[in-house]
Structure 1
Amino acid sequence: QIGGGNTAIVADARLSTAFEGDMTRAGDASLAVQRFLAQSLMINKQAPENERSIVVAPQRMPTTSQAQAMATALGGLSAGRWTQPLDRLSDAAKAKPDPAAGRRIPGPGSYPDALRAQELPTEAFTEIQKTQQGLSSFKTILTSPDRVVIPFGSAIMREMSTSWRGDPAGAADFRAAVQSYLATLQDQVKLVEKSDATLSGRSATIPVTVKNGLLQGIDHLYLQLESTQPNRLKVTDKQPVKIDGGHSQSVKFETRAYANGPVKVHARLYTADGQQVGKEMDFIVHVTSITPMVLLVIAGGVLLLVLAGLRIYLKRKRSGSHDGAGDGPEAGGEGPSDGGDNGGGEPERPGDPAADTGTGSGTPSRPGEKVER
């Protein structure tokens, strides 16, 4: 304990510096591994009845051969013959502090400026934390999270690697690439743009389409529509979303309208713990429902038309009955006469020539002309 509720973890100096020097030759690397194992066994034999936690920290900028030699030595301890590895550094911090340990902390000025310039800046760890939080939220909706968590977990560990010391531009580019690729995967789960909708009744259904462009399914995802004017338009509660990879799904919401007019609706996707997925989408719903007052006016108009038509019908019926009472044959009138009256003579026979009633010519006949009489 160093005061203020803080705990300092000190690495073992001898074990941490066992791999300094040139480890490119096999003999030097094997000797360093043997010394490391012997030193760890000696520490265990000093007080075998007491369980102690020992932290081994790699040197600031190890070479490839030095890192390989340290990995070989740690592999020799994996059998668990006299050591037991810890998964997290926080487990070592839970150990009982050594009462004889020094509590004096060197001031900030004692840290060399040359080494400070090689450290990762605070902004780098802020970006790494942002990537980690995005990954933690994104994996909760995946049906096969290992396909995303394992490669991105390795990339996040690489972002914190000491190999970036002295290359801040390269480290920044790598962090940006990891964050961009994760954002690209997150954007594959999105809401499809929706045009304005029109409701022509008191209640209706609004469909919203969710697209899954990933190569795996998504689950434990929810879609919610929020009306900006609940007094005009009310939407049902959230709906669960479960889509296979490379497919889309239409989610339907029941709505109820209380007043006419345009209403803006917000649509968003979020996880079970409330973390938003993708971007929100806004669209307008035009409510044109027929209110009871409008129905009453329409019913009154129809009733007036029916009454007016009935009145016209009855009026014409009465007028027609009065006109029919004065009609009929005139008194003393003669009936129709038989046609073909020829003045009392004999009736004409079929085939007789028609009577010549033309006016005779008074001009004398010319010589040689025969005249029938």
Structure 2
Amino acid sequence: MATTAVLVPALAAVAPAQPTAATSAPVPRDDSATSGQALTVESISPRTVGEKSTVKVTGRVTNTTDDELSSATIRLRYSRYPFSDRSQLGSYASGDGAQPQVSGPKTELGKSLKPGQSATYSLKIKAEDMRLGDFGVYPLAVDLADASGRTKDTRYTFLPYQGGSSPDPVDIAWLWPLMDDPQRADDDTFLSDGLSTSLGSNGRLGRLLVAGAQSDDIALEPSPPPSTAPRPTPDIEATAKATTEEKAEDGDDNGGKKGADAGRVPITWAVDPALLGDIARMSGDTYQVLQPTGKPTVPAEDAAPTTLSRDPSPTAQQWLRQARTGLDGAPIITVPYANADIAALLRQDLRKDAEAAVSLGGETVKNVLGTDADTTVAWPADGLMNSATRDFLSERGSTRFILSDAALPSRSTRGGTATAQAALPVGGDEPDATALVVDSELSNALAQPSRSAGDAALASQRFAAETAMIAAEGGTDRTVVAAPPRDWNPGADFAADVLRSSEKLPWLDPVALGDIEADATDTAQRGQLTYPTKGARSELSGTYLEQVDEVRKDIRLFNTILTDDSDPFRPAILRLESAAWRDDKTMAAQARALVARAVTLSREDVHIIPGETVTLASKTGKIGVLVANDLDKETVTVNLSIYSENNERLSVGKYKKEMTLRPGRKTTVYVPLSARINGRTVLNLSLQNADGEPISEEVPLPVNATGLGTQALLISAVGALILVIALAPRALRRWARKRAGRAGRAGRAGRSPDAESAGAAGEADGAGDRAAGEGADAGDGTDGGPGGDGDDAPGSMQHNGRGSPSEGGRPDGSAGSGTATTGDRASDQS
């Protein structure tokens, strides 16, 4: 009766390690409990002990001390009284139950063992010598004792004894999980490298796929080095078809079964669509992995995370190829996408998210595996649901529900195991649904360590003991649903062994989950639908979902500019709403911060490219505004908003505000401007959605108006006119002087050729209009005296112009002409 005490720490060892801040998702772990054990049990045969059987136990002894181990003895103990109740199995396995008192065979080590050395042992005993009673499960223990007879180590296990007859077999239906916690924050950023390792031949998901497929054609080769391309994969479909045809021709001895399903135990695959999406993303393109930091931390939303770039994973590609073959045609059920916490979403009025999780789940399975999932079967988180969850899933087409036995407890007062199926009222005029209740004790037994040879043998015995105890309870025909934990991490040998045992053990009869139906008599064994308090308390909190809602608001704003009503961040939000985060609030907060940052960066990818300061060289003009869509996949429609900080100084004219940009495209919008006053003004540019909500930060664009334009030209023209008016009198006077000089020369031409000649010479020697006049006046002197020099100073001309006869005054008394001339000159000089 000591199984439970051993099992509890064993279960703790096998339970999936919670992700650290650096990994953010479950990583492959070594859940073997044999490390450092002095005694292991590696096989117990036969699996079903009859009256004529010989029980054989083999294993290994290891010296785990620092001293030499000598004279060690291995001995067998058992009890002649079987367990009377299933609850005793767990207690005995832990070492807390009643100890078996009957001594069996023993053997001594043939040699001493130095520290770290090991040796094998083998113990045998005939069943008839054990004098066991009827069919049942009997305690069995293996001890390691030192030379003084003191027990150093003990392994507790079970001996199912068939005796002369067996009870009626119990139907067993398998639910085989391919699930994991969310592996990504946004679609391109993985929280760790753990998934790639898990998909390998020695990884958790790799072992589950191969063992569940139960086919030699489904195998995973060791992952190639990162720099090496994956080795070619044979045509799996052709190989499977050929193998199927051969088996169909030959048949087998497996109860008359023929064909590809011969020898296979029917299982139903339980798949998380988000995991399939993660694997497909990893296999298709380059992706980013969050760099480990050692301690769980929540990054600031504006802080850039440190990520490592990864090439497409050959391991993921290989796993997908084999999964598409191995699951083709097999029954598949799904949980909501990312195992969304439906109960919490409905409680927080997030029904649309709950609907999206269910619909996206089926779509993802179809897209990745190329096959349809059975949408009539629902498996709520932890196998628990309240009436609101039941009604919601029923409305979505679910007619069968995988539930925990805590949700539909047994009504039996004797402690027996109730059958798995039960009628489940759904309310209204709808027919009752069917509840398929998972046996929690069997799930716990499957979860114990099984990665090493020693652990696998004990785990297999525990499975045989649990199912034998159910059969020994007798009663009406019953069905048990075997559903390992969603993060089940069994050893490859153990996973394959429990499926074989389902067919080989005489007290079990494997059936398909889809063949289980409830009838009217089933309601007597199960109570009403119950939602335990621990179920409500474990839901995602309202505070956390409000924080997720803040991210959703930013996503809603981003979605308003996308065409075709696309919602690229919907899967990321559903991953944030996963029930997996119930027990890991730090990882949930980290994933939420990463998604929030990804949304911000995506919105910033639709932006205005800033320009340099614009100089407006006229009263009106146009500027070009460059708008870019740097998104990789999404087409956007945005509106350009421009306003001037000073409309009196600079105003914006009409321009094309709405534009549609395909991924990676840019466009230029030409905007007319009008300047009323010279100077600097700032235009503020931003992008908005159709409702006028800003989707980008404002970009300032300085504009300098220089004042050149119609107004400036008018001012220049007025200035030129003033200049012309000011210079016109002077030009007219010059013209008058020239004309007067010509007239004087013409009048003197008939009286004195010499004088005309002298005047002509004086005019030729003068520089400009003034010199010409002076030469003409000086030529009036009869002797050509001082007045005849055309270069003479104006003072000479003023002196001669007074008309003195002695200085060559004109005989006709025309000295007044010289005065006018002098006066004109004086006026010009003034």
**1:257-287 deviations in Å (ceiling 9; x for gaps):** 2333322221110111233222211122223
Conserved? CA contact 2:649–2:678, under 8 Å: yes
SS of the residue aligned with 2:558? helix
Amino acid in structure 2 at the alignment position of 1:331: S
Please give the per-residue CA displacement for 1:293-330, whole angstroms capped at 9, x wherever unaligned.
75554322111222344333322221112222236587
> How many Å separate the matches in 1 of 2:608 and 2:432?
51
- 1:134 corresponds to which of 542, 551, 554: 554
1:250 matched to 2:635: no
| Structure 2 counterpart SS, 1:275 | coil
Residue 155 of structure 1: how far off its partner (Å) = 1.9
Matches within 5 A, 1:219-258: 219-236=636-653, 239-258=657-676
- The count of aligned residue pairs is 266
Q: Kindly tell me: are residues 136 and 332 of structure 1, through their superposed partners in 2, closer, same or farther at Cα, counting changes over 3 Å? A: closer
Aligned match of 2:679: 261
- Structure with the greater alpha carbon radius of gyration: 1
Give the drift of 1:171: 0.9
Report the Cα distance in structure 1 between the residues aligned to 2:628 and 2:571, rounded to whole angstroms.
28
Tell me which residue corresponds to 2:571: 154
- Cα pair 1:135 1:182 within 8 Å, conserved: yes
The within-5 A match list for 1:191-340 is 191-216=608-633, 218-236=635-653, 239-289=657-707, 296-324=714-742, 325-326=744-745, 328=749, 331=752
Q: Distance in 2 between matches of 1:276 and 1:53?
A: 51
- Separation in 2, partners of 1:169, 1:119: 15
Deviations 1:20-78 (A, max 9, x none): 59xxxxxxxxxx9x945x524xx37x98xx24898x9x99xx9984569xxxxxx969x
Q: 1:293 to 1:122 in 2, by over 3 A?
A: same
**Whole-angstrom distance in 1 between the partners of 2:703 and 2:740:** 61
Q: Does residue 186 in structure 1 map to residue 589 in structure 2?
A: no
Q: CA deviation at 1:192?
A: 0.7
1:175 aligns with 2:592: yes
Distance 2:631 2:571 in 1: 21
Aligned to 2:319: none
Distance in 1 between residues matched to 2:647 and 2:686, nearest whole Å: 17
| 8 Å contact kept, 2:677–2:705 | yes
Shift, 1:169, TM fit: 1.4
Residue 252 of structure 1, CA deviation: 1.3
Partner of 1:99: none
1:273, 1:53 → 2: CA distance?
48
Structure 2: distance between partners of 1:332 and 1:129: 116
SS in 2 for 1:172: helix
- The answer as to whether partners of 2:617 and 2:709 remain within 8 angstroms in 1 is no
Percent of matched pairs sharing the same residue? 23
Q: Work out the CA distance in 2 between the residues paired with 1:142 and 1:10.
A: 34
1:39 to 400, 408, 423: 423
Q: Residue 290 of structure 1: CA displacement?
A: 5.1
- Does 1:19 pair with 2:437? no
For the structure 1 residues 229 and 332, does the alpha-carbon distance in structure 2 shift closer, same or farther, using more than 3 Å as the test? closer
Secondary structure of the structure 2 residue equivalent to 1:195: coil
State the shift of 1:221 in Å: 1.1
- Check the 8 A contact 1:18/1:35 in 2, yes or no: no
Structure-2 separation of matches of 1:272 and 1:76: 50
Q: Which amino acid aligns with 1:19?
A: S
C-alpha deviation, 1:229, in angstroms: 1.7
Which deviations, in whole Å up to 9, do the C-alpha atoms of 1:233-267 show, x marking residues without a partner?
A: 22135611222321211111122223333222211
Structure 2 CA distance for partners of 1:244 and 1:328, relative to 1, 3 Å: farther
Give the Å deviation of 1:157.
1.1
- The AA in structure 2 aligned to 1:284 is P
- Change beyond 3 A, Cα 1:76–1:205: farther
The 2-side partners of 1:137 and 1:308 are apart by: 69
Which AA in structure 1 matches 2:659?
Answer: V
Q: Structure 1 residues 323, 53: CA separation in 2 closer, same or farther (over 3 Å shift)?
A: farther
CA contact (8 A) 2:423 2:432 kept: no
Query: C-alpha separation between the residues in 1 aligned to 2:432 and 2:574?
Result: 24
Question: How far apart in 2 are the matches of 1:203 and 1:231?
Answer: 14
Distance in 2 between the 1:17 and 1:217 partners?
39
Q: Distance in 2 between matches of 1:332 and 1:269?
A: 93
Distance 1:65 1:158, change over 3 A: farther
Q: CA deviation at 1:193?
A: 1.1
Code of the aligned partner of 2:735? K
Partner of 2:33: none
Letter paired with 1:197: V
CA contact (8 A) 1:206 1:254 kept: yes
Match for 2:403: what amino acid?
A: A
Q: Deviations over 1:160-207 (max 9, x none)?
A: 112112211111111111222222222111111122222232222122
- Measure, in 2, the Cα distance between the counterparts of 1:133 and 1:321: 92
Q: Indicate how the Cα distance of structure 1 residues 164 and 323 shifts in structure 2: closer, same or farther if over 3 A, else same.
A: same
Decide whether the 8 Å contact of 1:217 with 1:242 is kept in 2: no
Structure 1 CA distance for aligned equivalents of residues 698 and 753 of structure 2? 99
Q: Which amino acid aligns with 1:256?
A: S
| Contact preservation (8 Å) 1:19, 1:66 | no
Give yes or no for contact 1:144–1:216 (8 Å, CA) kept in 2.
no
Do the aligned partners of 1:20 and 1:66 also contact (CA within 8 Å) in 2? no
Instruction: Tell whether the 8 Å contact from 2:629 to 2:636 is kept in structure 1 after alignment.
Output: no
Query: What is the CA–CA distance in structure 2 between the aligned matches of 1:137 and 1:205, rounded to whole Å?
Result: 31
- CA 1:35/1:111 → structure 2, altered by over 3 Å: closer, same or farther? closer
Distance 1:12 1:188, change over 3 A: closer
C-alpha distance in 1 between matches for 2:628 and 2:749: 86
Structure-1 separation of matches of 2:595 and 2:729: 84
Cα distance, 1:209 vs structure 2: 0.9
1:315 and 1:120 map into 2 onto residues whose CA distance is 104
* Structure 1 position 216, deviation (Å): 3.9
Change (3 A) 1:206 1:292: closer
TM norm structure 2: 0.28
Task: Find the aligned partners of 1:230 and 1:187 in 2 and give their Cα distance.
Answer: 29
Q: 1:123 to 1:240 in 2, by over 3 A?
A: same
Does the 8 Å CA contact 2:679/2:704 hold for their aligned counterparts?
yes
CA RMSD of aligned residues (A): 4.4
